[in-house]
Amino acid sequence: MSRTPTWLLACLTLVIGFALARVTGVRALGAVVLLAGVGWCLAREVRATPWWRLAVVVVVGAVCFVASHVLADRVGAWPSVLLCSAALGASTALLIGGRRRVAQPAGRPGWGRRATEWLLTYVGPAQIGDPRRPARAATADERAREEELRTTLVREVGPDGTTYLVERRD
């Protein structure tokens, strides 16, 4: 059952919940099935999907649940449930996806980190102070400190892509 896509579980939750409520005449049983289905889908995806996507899918599920009740008067009970469960399945497939996402390898930083480091080569680190004030000339002490740091430290990149300053080995 672990290979069953989450979008299919979301579809079946609405259909089975309605069928159980219809057959038994107890609407609360249908609600139990709906809540169990929501919990099951969330438990399957909580580690692999961002929280906001899960929240959107839950809201879409609630909207589809309400829409199935509204449409039932116009098109009939079963067609409205099937239509709304198809809409829920499609939105779940779009937001969560049918494929499993693979975690980023530990040795390589993500694209956001690489983009930030690339931008830092052009814009540099954040500066403290008022950028509208004219720059002042560096003092002799500041120039001496800068020279000392440049001669005693060297920049190295670790295996995970993180940049470090270490003492020069001469």
In a domain, 111, yes or no: no
User: Domain ends where: 77, 95, 113?
Assistant: 95
Average pLDDT over residues 147-159: 88
Count the residues in the chain. 170
Q: Tell me how crowded residue 40 is: count the other CB atoms within 10 A of its CB.
A: 14
Task: Please give the tally of structural domains in the chain.
Answer: 2
Same domain, yes or no: 89 and 151: no
pLDDT in tens, 100-140: 555 555 666 777 777 877 777 777 666 666 666 777 788 99
Residue 63 lies in a domain: yes
Contact 33, 111 (CB under 8 A): no
Q: Pick from 62, 95, 128: which residue ends a domain? A: 95
Q: Where are the beta strands (DSSP E) in the chain?
A: 153-157, 163-167
In the listed set 35, 62, 95, which residue is the last one of a domain according to the structure? 95
**Quick one: 162 exposed, middle or buried, by C-beta within 10 A (0-12, 13-18, 19+)?**
exposed
What range defines the domain where residue 157 resides? 139-170
Give the pLDDT band (50/70/90) at residue 1: very low
**Helix H or strand E encompassing 3:** none
22 and 86 share one domain: yes
